[in-house]
Amino acid sequence: MLLIAGDGAFGLNGMDLETCVRFGAPVVCVVGNDGGWGQIRNPQLSFFGAERVVATSLPTTRHDGIVEALGGRGALVTKPADICPALERALASGEVWCVNVVLDPSAFRRYIGAPKWPPITPSARAAPAEPWRRSAPLGVSGGPRAGPEPAW
Ligand SMILES: Cc1ncc(C[n+]2csc(CCOP(=O)(O)OP(=O)(O)O)c2C)c(N)n1
């Protein structure tokens, strides 16, 4: 069985792969890992602007490592050319896999386009953000990001 999930969805439900391991159900989960809750972050950006995006930026979590810790297998994919070999290996194995594919966080808005919703109010954009509500600039597995927040 092939399961395709976002990193946010996997973060909420990935523990179910432990059940797959326990029951010997050979599920291969491909995680499209863009380091964010895009479905929520994109409207935040359109409604409020980049300065007021809240809690929807995620670290590039090693979900592949999590599944290994659960008794399954994991592969981290950072280049498009490595996707097919990783998938072929996983699907042929009869084991539980997480193929964790690191994506460009800005690609959605660049290629699909920013949602056309207008900002809620000019004052919502202008008001200073509460620092504790901002998305934490996290890096891989919770460490600090190497550089600035990715451009969304
Ligand atoms: C159990 C549950 N909690 C919260 C939500 C709200 N929610 C909708 S989309 C989303 C983020 C999904 O992120 P990801 O899987 O990375 O997909 P993306 O939006 O980036 O494509 C969340 C948390 C939900 N749908 N289900």
Note whether residue 148 is domain-resident. Answer: no
pLDDT of res. 6:
97
Sheet holding 97-102, edge to edge: 2-6, 28-33, 97-102, 73-77
Task: For residue 71, give its domain range.
Answer: 2-125
Question: Is the residue at 137 inside a domain?
Answer: no
Convert the pLDDT of each residue in 56-107 to its tens digit.
Answer: 988 899 999 999 999 999 999 999 999 999 999 999 999 999 999 999 888 8
In a domain, 119, yes or no: yes
Q: What spacing in Å lies between the alpha carbon of 41 and ligand 1's midpoint? A: 10
**72 Cβ closer than 6 Å to some ligand 1 atom:** no
Residue 134 lies in a domain: no
- Whether the CA torsion 23, 24, 27, 31 is positive or negative: it is positive
Q: How many domains does the chain have?
A: 1
Looking at residue 46, its pLDDT comes to 80
**Residue 133: φ, ψ to 5°:** -95, -5
CATH of the domain at 49: 3.40.50.970
**Does the residue 51 lie in any domain?**
yes
| Residue 132 belongs to some domain of the structure | no
Residue 144 lies in a domain: no
Each residue's pLDDT tens digit, 110-146 = 877 766 666 665 555 555 554 444 444 444 444 444 4
Q: What are the pLDDT digits (tens) for 31-64?
A: 999 999 999 988 888 888 887 888 898 889 999 9
Nearest CA to ligand 1 atom 5: 9
CA of 8 to the centre of ligand 1 (A): 5
- Cβ–ligand 1 contact at 12 (below 6 Å): yes
Best mutation site among 4, 34, 39 for ligand 1, i.e. most ligand atoms within 8 A of its Cβ?
Answer: 39
Pocket of ligand 1 contains residue 6 by CB under 6 Å? yes
35 lines ligand 1 (CB under 6 A): no
Q: 81: burial class by Cβ within 10 Å (0-12, 13-18, 19+)? A: exposed
Q: Which atom of ligand 1 lies at the shortest distance from residue 11's CA?
A: 15
78 CB under 6 A from ligand 1?
no
Q: Could you tell me if residue 76 is inside a domain?
A: yes
- Give the pLDDT confidence score for residue 75 in this predicted structure: 98
Q: Is 152 in the pocket of ligand 1 (CB under 6 A)?
A: no
